Amino acid sequence: MTTQPQPLSPMKTGVRGLCPRCGQGHLFEGFMKLKLKCEACGLDNGFADPATGTAFFVNCFTFILVAVVVSAWIEIAMSPSLWVHILVSLPIVLMACVLPLRPLKGWLVNSQFFYKTRRGKIPSGYAAPETATPGADKV
C-alpha cells in the first residue's frame, strides 16, 4: 500500500516563496519573476497564471486600508503641510503596496497548484446560445 504525500498548504509554502509540490525549492528568481522549474523537484511552473490577482489584492486591501487609515489619520489629527505627507505618508503607502506583492503572488500561485486550477477552455464547435436583442428584428 502506497500513501499519497500530503499536499502542502499554499499559505505555508507560497508566502515563503517555496515550491508548491516539494516545499524545498524556490518559487521566484528575483523579486517577482517565477522560476520556470523547481530546482529541487523539477516541477514545471507553467501552470502558474496569477495574472493581475496580486495587484488586485494589494490594491483592494493594503493600499486602500493604509492610504485611508494612515494618511487620513495624519491629515485629521495633525493637519500637516504637504511635505509631511510626501515624507511620511508616501513611503508608508509605497512600502505597504510593494512588500506584500511577493508573498501574495506566492500564495496565489501555490493555491493554483493546490486546487489544480487551469485556464478555461471553450470546446471546439461550441456555439453560444442566441440572445434576444430588443429591436434586432426591425433592422
**Where does this chain bind Zn ion (CB under 5 A)?**
19, 21-22, 25, 38, 40-41, 43
Distance CA 64, CA 125 (A): 44
Shortest approach of Zn ion to residue 112 CB, angstroms? 15
**Minimum gap (Å) between residue 28 Cβ and Zn ion:** 13
Smallest separation, CB 12 to Zn ion (Å): 14
Alpha-helical runs (H) found in the chain: 10-14, 53-57, 64-66, 72-78, 82-84, 90-98, 101-114
Question: Are the C-beta atoms of 20 and 113 separated by less than 8 Å?
Answer: yes
In the bound state with Zn ion, the residue whose beta carbon lies nearer, of 57 and 113, is 113
For residues 71 and 85, is the Cβ–Cβ distance under 8 A?
yes
Would you say 22 or 88 has its CB closer to Zn ion?
22
**Which of 89/110 has CB closer to Zn ion?**
110
